[in-house]
Structure 1
Amino acid sequence: MILGNEYEKNIGENISNILNIEDEIYDFEITPNRPDCLGIIGIANELKCAINRKEKQKLLIEKGDFEKIANTVEKIDNITVNVESEDVKRYMAIPLYNVKNIETPKEIKERLQTMGVNPKGNILVDISNYIMFETGNPIHIFDLDILNKIHNEKNDNNKLEIKIANNNGKIELLNDEELELSDDLTISIDNENLALVGIMGGKDSGVRKETKNILIEIATFERKKIRDTSRKYNVRTESSARFEKKLSPRLPELAFLRMITLMKELGVIDSTSFGNGKINVIDYIRKDVKENFENEQNTLINFNSNDINKILGMNISKEKMIDILTELGFRKHNGETSVLVKPYIREDIERKEDLAEEVIRFYGYDNLNETLPKVERGNVYRNNDKDISTITKDIRNLLKIEGYNQIITYRIYIKR
């Protein structure tokens, strides 16, 4: 954190006393298969289950929540989206008008500081970072008036096309770094690059204190593309760190819902920002991702308590398993426990072994029974054509190949 010159007199003092911040900060290491926990909401849902706390407020979204407030369309006013890359899984564009660019509330500033981010004081910038830390899905906000200005300087028509494709040319990033692009995935208008996809926005199209109309971008991309681009230019950001994981294409729905909810609560937007009723959203979904969404079988998983107990070598009651899985967001399918509906953004759950892992994580690894591995008798190495010394040599060579070193010590006894 960088503090101003006014704090020079406080050098050597406890920073929590200087800033009047009393807080405890926890660092979590997230395993690669749990990108849903890259946001605080995902971690909170895990902790809720761990401490057996019944929350009235729903933390995770379910199918249909997004559709309650969003109306998906192909065009909004003069805005369209043209995706020309298979590296884009999902791309949402949401224009909002007459936004109130207020000072960021103190509580949000302090929370961003604890996350290691220096708040800008501009609510539009700070709220996008805040929601990213909450949900795990990065968000970028463009100044819509600047986008229209860029377009109008090059065209007479009123069609503003947001293009996502591999491009060349230059871009000046928000950190003032200028890059010479070479077939890199960008957001562009009329061949002018606005953002390096999944990594950082361009300086010329970002929001300012005077911004009144905005275009919100919420998306997911192929992680390899983002990782390769980040390494290529040696630019690593909070956004790229998340996009390099396998984010669920459903996660933008959670980010959208939280973004709109918080902006309404803070008075940043009102009904004049999007009109009455639902909010119009341009929502591009790649064909295979959309087919996956529409296939109900991809949301279901068979549940058998006997299978799980066999995997774990335990005798946990079916009721206890259902309690744990329900707290984690699983639901009964058509009222039956033999088939469960997976949590909306948990794409890592694929087989019964995954369910067993979910159960034992919260039942407690310390409750696992200590048993020796079962070895089937009779499956010993036999080769009548080799004597024991040859077999020993074969084993020694195999172990060397695996990276083992042989140690030959002095005898600790005397032959008589």
Structure 2
Amino acid sequence: EAEKLSDVFTFHICEVDSLDKLPDGDYVFDLKVLPDRAHDLLSHLGVARELSSLLGVSFNDPTPQYKIPEATATNLQIKLETDLCRRYTARIVRNVSVGASPEWVVKHLESIGQRSINNVVDAANLVMYDCGQPIHAFDLDKITGSIVVRMAKAGEEITTLDNKQVKLSERDMVIADDAHVLAIAGVKGGKVAEVDVNTKNIIIEVANFDGTTVRKTRRNINIFTDAAKRFENDLSPELCEYAMREVSGLLVEYGCKDFEEIVDVYPKKQIPKTLSFRLSKMSSMLGYELTPEESEQVLNRYNFKFSKDGDKYEIDVPAMRLDLNIEEDMVEEFGRVLGYDKVPPILPNIEYKPEVDDTYNKISIARAKLLADGYSEVMTYAFCDKGEVEVLASASDKKFLRTNLKDGLTESVKLNVLNSPLLATADVKVFEIGKVFFKDHEEWHVAYGNKKEIKEVVLDEFCKNLSLDTFASSDDAKQDILEQNNTGERFKIWSLYPFIVRDIALWVPNSVSDNEIAKVIKENANELVVKGPDLFDKFTKGEKTSYAFRLVFQSFDRTLTDDEVGQVMEKINSALKAHSDWELR
């Protein structure tokens, strides 16, 4: 059953990173929830609701109906000095006994990879994983005056619960009292008002903070928490009430009785959303006909309240579903629920007649000419360290768009010359056809050359004396194309490890050919010789001829040592010396 449930997650909700079986026979799913659904699926209740809707089974909220004692009046003062805090609810609980959590709480937290801290902190964490709303607790007796939600002052510092000293900026939101910074809003609590074994009275905080602000702060101070993960993807402020009720109920289970009234500062309430979609558009975008019965079945399974007017449906979007905003969101929702595998594989009927592109023709002419002349095409970076057009958010050494091809091609030639033993060529000839960029315009250029000289011209200038008709009608050109299409293997894997070059030169009688020598070398080489023997020098003096061969050694799994290469060379040299009339130079 667990494997079947895993398939439901994968095909309809999100990826399953892992599925682990516990000693008691239960299973733990580790889900990879995407940001667009983090606001409701980063919670056990959210996942349970989603599964109940997909599987067509009734959803029963497992949260116990706690009986919370009647609350007494409170003098707790909350001040919001920034609208980046959308809602702040808090309540005082007195005469709390801080200690170890019940065994069921400890086991529950351990099953999801969390450690138990104390009963108060565990209650807050348990509720967060249950409904997705982060909760924090402060020691009331360590707080001076009112609770203030504000932006930090430049240079203000806080020591976090894990003893990290953090310097804040004016872009960071904090929870403070009249004397100290108590917490980094949505990210991490501070040591100043930490709940410990000596704590007797607490303030429970259940708030809603702006996701963008939390994300920027978290990245700037390099602190990642489960609370920040939930806030930075945005949450519905309506969750605060549910979470406060649930955490209060857990504290009742721990024996707490003295609850003060909840202070709820909620300046701009979340406006209920309605969303309409047309069944005809739904069917058109999904690629198959959707019946009214099918669409209403999906809406009912997800408990969407809706009204219908002909082809048009209007739904009341649940407060927790922050991802449903436009008609296309509902199309995606239906596709996900019904299964994208049900979309029939029909090729679209698209009639497209491409226009003749003069630039494309010129590029083809230039490329054909250069390839025919023995050049190889390369593609270099369009970004460089100097130029006229600066690029935003780029690497420090590539801040500009190139104004020429020559610089990049020069570097390409240098690199290819270094690798020329592997290429088995002494003459590196390369070209590039590409755009260069100026402040007020762009140009197509052609650059070509070798290690001696690089030339660069505008594409139009290069093609001025060349004709596409000449290439198209030439029998030689046609034959070249046919030969290129029948070259067999076009790609060969390259090793990432460095190569070593060794040369062998020897005198032999004029009657001995280079092929005879190459055969002896090959027979005594091994798999480390990836190139060669390549003959690169020959001259005759009297009755003897000198041959020079080049061998390239390289491994695909390690960097070769001189000793390894030396052993192969020693074997080859011994085989050559075995011929009495051959003399190594």
Give TM-score scaled by structure 2 length: 0.54
Aligned to 1:389: 361
Amino acid across the alignment from 1:390 = K
Per-residue CA shift, 1:224-251, capped at 9, x if unaligned?
3222222222221111222221223333
1:232 pairs with 2:220: yes
SS of structure 1 residue aligned to 2:36: coil
CA–CA separation in structure 1 for the residues paired with 2:226 and 2:278: 40
CA positional deviation for 1:102: 5.9
Amino acid across the alignment from 2:304 = F
Per-residue CA shift, 1:296-326, capped at 9, x if unaligned?
5xx1111332221121111232222222223
Aligned to 1:9: none
1:309 pairs with 2:305: no
1:58/1:353 CA distance change after superposition, 3 Å: farther
- Counterpart pick for 1:29 among 28, 32, 40: 32
CA positional deviation for 1:113: 0.9
CA positional deviation for 1:110: 1.1
Q: Which moved more, 1:32-41 or 1:210-219?
A: 210-219
Amino acid across the alignment from 1:380 = P
What is the correspondence of 1:70-89 to structure 2 with a 5 Å cutoff? Answer: 77-89=74-86
Amino acid across the alignment from 1:52 = G
What is the correspondence of 1:93-132 to structure 2 with a 5 Å cutoff? Answer: 93-99=90-96, 101=98, 103-120=100-117, 122-132=118-128
1:135 pairs with 2:110: no
- Counterpart pick for 2:207 among 191, 196, 219: 219
CA–CA separation in structure 1 for the residues paired with 2:366 and 2:206: 58
Aligned to 2:157: 170
- Counterpart pick for 1:411 among 485, 489, 506: 485
SS of structure 2 residue aligned to 1:219: strand
1:373/1:83 CA distance change after superposition, 3 Å: same
Q: Would you say the 8 A contact 1:328–1:343 is kept in 2?
A: no
CA–CA separation in structure 1 for the residues paired with 2:322 and 2:101: 35
Q: How many residues align?
A: 353
Question: Of the two, which has the highest radius of gyration?
Answer: 2
* Greater relative contact order (CA < 8 Å, ≥ 6 in sequence): 1
CA positional deviation for 1:333: 4.9
- Counterpart pick for 2:321 among 346, 349, 352: 346
Q: Would you say the 8 A contact 1:325–1:358 is kept in 2?
A: no
CA–CA separation in structure 2 for the residues paired with 1:333 and 1:119: 47
Q: Would you say the 8 A contact 2:288–2:344 is kept in 1?
A: yes
Q: Would you say the 8 A contact 2:206–2:244 is kept in 1?
A: yes
Higher strand share: 2
Q: Would you say the 8 A contact 1:99–1:273 is kept in 2?
A: no
SS of structure 2 residue aligned to 1:25: strand
Q: Would you say the 8 A contact 1:98–1:273 is kept in 2?
A: no
CA–CA separation in structure 2 for the residues paired with 1:229 and 1:33: 20
CA positional deviation for 1:84: 1.8
Q: Would you say the 8 A contact 2:147–2:175 is kept in 1?
A: no
CA–CA separation in structure 2 for the residues paired with 1:311 and 1:209: 59
CA–CA separation in structure 1 for the residues paired with 2:161 and 2:280: 55
Q: Which moved more, 1:48-57 or 1:130-139?
A: 48-57
SS of structure 1 residue aligned to 2:299: helix
Q: Would you say the 8 A contact 1:83–1:165 is kept in 2?
A: no
Give TM-score scaled by structure 1 length: 0.74
Aligned to 2:406: none
1:250 pairs with 2:238: yes
Aligned to 2:182: 194
Q: Which moved more, 1:81-90 or 1:357-366?
A: 81-90
CA–CA separation in structure 1 for the residues paired with 2:231 and 2:277: 31
CA–CA separation in structure 2 for the residues paired with 1:401 and 1:174: 47
Q: Which moved more, 1:226-235 or 1:363-372?
A: 226-235
Unmatched segments (≥5 aa) in structure 2: 1-19, 369-378, 383-432, 435-480, 488-585
CA positional deviation for 1:189: 1.1
1:311/1:213 CA distance change after superposition, 3 Å: same
Higher helix share: 1
Aligned to 1:53: 57
SS of structure 2 residue aligned to 1:374: coil
Amino acid across the alignment from 1:172 = T
Q: Would you say the 8 A contact 1:102–1:268 is kept in 2?
A: no
Q: Would you say the 8 A contact 1:141–1:214 is kept in 2?
A: yes
CA RMSD between the two structures? 3.7
Aligned to 2:262: 280
Q: Would you say the 8 A contact 1:305–1:318 is kept in 2?
A: yes
